[in-house]
Amino acid sequence: MIDLHTHSLFSDGELLPAELIQRASVIGYKAIAITDHVDQSNIDIVIPRIVKALKALKDFVSITAIPGAEITHVPPALIPSMVKEARQLGAKIVVVHGETIAEPVAEGTNRAAIEAGADIVSHPGIISTEDLLLAKEKGVALEITSRKGHSLSNGHVVKEGIKFGVPLVINTDAHSPADLITDETAKKILLSAGIDENRIESIFENSKALMEKALRRD
């Protein structure tokens, strides 16, 4: 499993980065990105702390751990500057909290995230055709999620994402140890969302490609 969207206690997760990484390693993860929630109030605190923690752990863990951030409930007009700041602070994976149907996310968030060049739009809800086409053009991945509530629109994301050739990835949006999943569970979630069995490996490959791109960033 390559999971590019998880949370530690630097936002609303339950675990320190070290424990989150250890637990992911034990269940067979190949890589994990720690992408705690950020807005204007905490971006300059959270990302440097995650970067510092993962740098210290690098030689002592058996999986790849990537510092990141999830820009969350930020007004769409401010998302481009936040994506830029997150990268400057050391986030190698930038996720934007998409227009999930489970929360009152501001309309236009998906579009702003894609235009800003975020790596992933998490749980993008009933994403529009225009935004799907822009995501394809810019190579921004859309998330299929195992997270309760946010997963309600997985079917739409899968159907439309495949129709328009948008890269899809599967993530957990983990906040607790119980949220981490194995490859087998990920496959079941993908099948349940409408992914044909012969396409599943391509979803995993998208995550691998995104991970490799992140690791090439200085």
What is the reported pLDDT for 9? 97
CA 121 to CA 117: how far, in whole Å? 10
Q: Is the pLDDT of residue 25 over 80?
A: yes
**pLDDT classification of 82: cutoffs 50, 70, 90:** very high
What is the reported pLDDT for 6? 98
Bridge partners of residue 3, in order along the sequence: 32
Q: What is the pTM of this model?
A: 0.98
Does the domain at 2-216 match CATH 3.40.50.300? Answer given as no
pLDDT in tens, 161-178: 999 999 999 999 999 999
Count other C-beta atoms under 10 Å from residue 63's C-beta: 18
What is the reported pLDDT for 152? 98
Helices 43-57/79-88 angle, 10° precision: 30
Which amino acid does the sequence have at 105? Answer: V
**pLDDT classification of 204: cutoffs 50, 70, 90:** very high
pLDDT in tens, 101-155: 999 999 999 999 999 999 999 999 999 999 999 999 999 999 999 999 999 999 9
